[in-house]
Amino acid sequence: MTDLEPVAPAQPVMPGWEYAPAPESKDIVRLQDRYGLFIGGEFVEPKSGRWFPTIDPSNETVLAEVAEAGEEDVDVAVTAARSAYVTAWRDLPGPERAKYLYRIARALQERAREFAVLESMNGGKPIKESRDVDVPLAAAHFFYHAGWADKLEYAFPAMRPTPLGVAGQVIPWNFPLLMAAWKLAPALAAGNTAVLKPAETTPLTALFLGEVIQQAELPPGVVNILTGAGATGASLVGHPDVDKVAFTGSTEVGKQIRRAVAGTNKHLTLELGGKAANIVFEDAPIDQAVEGVVNGIFFNQGHVCCAGSRLLVQEPVFEELLDKLKVRLGTLRVGDPLDKNTDVGAINSRAQLEKIGELVASGVEEGAVIYQPPCDLPERGFWFAPTLFTGVSQSHRIAREEIFGPVLSILTFRTPEEAVEKANNTPYGLSAGIWTEKGSRILWMAERMRAGVVWANTFNRFDPASPFGGYKESGFGREGGRHGLEPYVRLEPVS
Ligand code: NDP
């Protein structure tokens, strides 16, 4: 635009758009009635004899029955993993291990649509997220770690890395396939074998990953997948022949696992909860910040450990940001996860919906001011409207506890020092976001944040080469990058 061109008059707020339904077809997913446990390269009946239904949280229909692994099943799986470790995997040259990882990555890409649809059906997340984030990133993790498998000796200068043995890995329901990839890819690249326990509510993509592992012709037992509930996870973590435990989930269960592992020789990494601050300074580009705030808390219905669930706004721009945020919330489309236009899908389970409802009620009772845009929620299934709270004080439960839902608590600050103080005033320390146009301020803030990941003028960016993990009660150990390989190897100085 030249100086002579007239400046366009300010546009009125965009009128509401009517979107025609654009559902992704489910036909690409062929579900069986029942799925056994994936042990020793095969799907087998559980010795426990127990099965449980897994549902679509957007409409509560049963998708399939899956096996519930008991202690005996855990033992069979760990034995299969040990045997594969000793006979087939530990001593396999790195370039050979890499070939298998590349195969898994390519198969995930080939079956990307199927995995995306299934992830949305079983977990409730919008198809555009499973299609554009979960599945491509899961494939990227296998590609990235395939690249490390034959270069481990260069990853740790002057050290000789050797694998640990059998990894017992327990993952949550918010990113089922992606968390499986985060756990399995580095473990296998480093020469370990694995027993993976997906979350009770989202077992299906992990089981389909079992099929991919068959397709990739991994030696039987290198990867074993045990479906079940918390008791299955506890018995895996407690199995005496597991060398390494990797857990992602709640801080509460993380603490239990730490106690269970204490006094053993097991290696442990914990990736736990968060209560991240997304901090907007007065000089920030406000429209971009609004998008970042929305992405930070409403991505995946807020079921994200690093969600920007506390918004800290510098006082001079509070009103402007709040007005724009409210307008933006009104444009979020909540509904059918398989609709390509959906922004906010279903809550993952009834239990999670109840937890969100309870914390939101506590916010109202404690005196914060709630805002929800008008939105029609489907009658069946588990749903929660995008929610904001203003008038939040640091002592409110909604400012302290992980809600793990589409709920944003907004606080204000005056100075950068106050922003740091408030951002760090949490038992967690997983992530943070900073919005400002000053590079020096970004660095000043990032230095002072007790958070494993600090995003600047963006939020929720993930890359397999970038280490991810927490401070304080958000856990310890890193996943991704060279740092994420380290928890899967024993390092000895090269003599
Ligand atoms: P959990 O921490 O209970 O679940 C994570 C995984 O651990 C699941 O596979 C779970 O199995 C398993 N598990 C449960 N108990 C044990 C145990 N004693 N030993 C070993 N494994 C166990 O999370 P929830 O699903 O119960 O969610 C509760 C809250 O945790 C959420 O509201 C949210 O605030 C937080 N959360 C945080 C996550 C994060 O990434 N930071 C992820 C998920 C939840 P099962 O699913 O069968 O119970």
Please provide the size of the chain in residues. Answer: 495
Cβ contacts of 442 within 8 Å, gap of 6 or more: 434, 436, 456, 457
Lookup: tokens for 85: 């470790």
| Total Cβ atoms within 10 A of residue 457 | 16
Query: Which numbered atom of ligand 1 lies nearest the CA of 254?
Result: 2
- Segments of the chain with pLDDT less than 70: 1-16
Lookup: tokens for 357: 């409802």
Q: Whose CA is nearest to atom 27 of ligand 1?
A: 250
Give the torsion sign (CA, 45, 237, 146, 189). Answer: negative
- How many Å lie between the centroid of ligand 1 and the Cα of residue 241? 23
* Whole-number Å distance between alpha carbons of 406 and 347: 9
- How many Å lie between the centroid of ligand 1 and the Cα of residue 41? 26
Q: Whose CA is nearest to atom 43 of ligand 1?
A: 249
**8 A C-beta contact, residue 237 and residue 255:** no
**8 A C-beta contact, residue 437 and residue 445:** no
* Whole-number Å distance between alpha carbons of 54 and 39: 20
Beta strand pairing call for 223-225 and 193-197: parallel
Q: Whose CA is nearest to atom 30 of ligand 1?
A: 250
- How many Å lie between the centroid of ligand 1 and the Cα of residue 171? 8
pTM of the model: 0.95
Q: Whose CA is nearest to atom 26 of ligand 1?
A: 250
Phi, psi angles (nearest 5°) of residue 387: -135, 140
Lookup: tokens for 406: 């589409």
Question: N- to C-terminal Cα distance for the chain?
Answer: 66
SS (H, E, C) the chain: CCCCCCCCCCCCCCCCCCCCCCECCCCCCCCCCEECEEECCEEECCCCCCEEEEEECCCCEEEEEEECCCHHHHHHHHHHHHHHHHHHHCCCCHHHHHHHHHHHHHHHHHCHHHHHHHHHHHHCCCHHHHHHHHHHHHHHHHHHHHHHHCCHHHHCCCEEEEECCEEEEECCCCCHHHHHHHHHHHHHHCCCEEEEECCCCCCHHHHHHHHHHHHCCCCCCCEEECCCCHHHHHHHHHCCCCCEEEEECCHHHHHHHHHHHCCCCCEEEEECCCCCEEEECCCCCHHHHHHHHHHHHHHHHHCCCCCCCEEEEEHHHHHHHHHHHHHHHHCCCECCCCECCCCECCCCCHHHHHHHHHHHHHHHHCCCEEECCCCCCCCCCCCCCCEEEECCCCCCHHHHCCCCCCEEEEEEECCHHHHHHHHHCCCCCCEEEEECCCHHHHHHHHHHCCCCEEEECCCCCCCCCCCECCCHHHEECCECHHHHHHHHEEEEECC
pLDDT attached to residue 13: 54
Lookup: tokens for 331: 């444009």
pLDDT attached to residue 495: 79
Q: Name the residue of 50, 170, 171 to mutate for ligand 1: max ligand atoms within 8 A of Cβ.
A: 170
**AA letter at 36:** G
**8 A C-beta contact, residue 235 and residue 72:** no
* Whole-number Å distance between alpha carbons of 150 and 154: 9
Query: Which numbered atom of ligand 1 lies nearest the CA of 403?
Result: 34
Phi, psi angles (nearest 5°) of residue 268: -140, 135
Of 198, 162, 160, 166, the residue nearest 182 (C-alpha): 198
Give the binding-site residues of ligand 1, using a 6 Å CB cut-off: 170-174, 197, 199-200, 229-230, 233-234, 237, 248-250, 253, 256-257, 272-273, 305, 352, 355, 402, 404
Tell me how far the alpha carbon of residue 335 is from its chain's centroid.
21
Of 481, 489, 309, the residue nearest 388 (C-alpha): 309
Q: CA 423, 324, 120 angle in degrees (round to 5)?
A: 75
Q: Name the residue of 253, 272, 306, 431 to mutate for ligand 1: max ligand atoms within 8 A of Cβ.
A: 253
* Whole-number Å distance between alpha carbons of 345 and 348: 9
pLDDT attached to residue 15: 58
Which residues are marked as active site?
271, 305
- How many Å lie between the centroid of ligand 1 and the Cα of residue 57? 17
Cβ contacts of 218 within 8 Å, gap of 6 or more: 41, 100, 104
* Whole-number Å distance between alpha carbons of 442 and 459: 14
Q: Name the residue of 250, 299, 468 to mutate for ligand 1: max ligand atoms within 8 A of Cβ.
A: 250
**8 A C-beta contact, residue 390 and residue 369:** yes
Lookup: tokens for 140: 């990227």
- How many Å lie between the centroid of ligand 1 and the Cα of residue 475? 14
- How many Å lie between the centroid of ligand 1 and the Cα of residue 246? 13
Phi, psi angles (nearest 5°) of residue 4: -80, -15
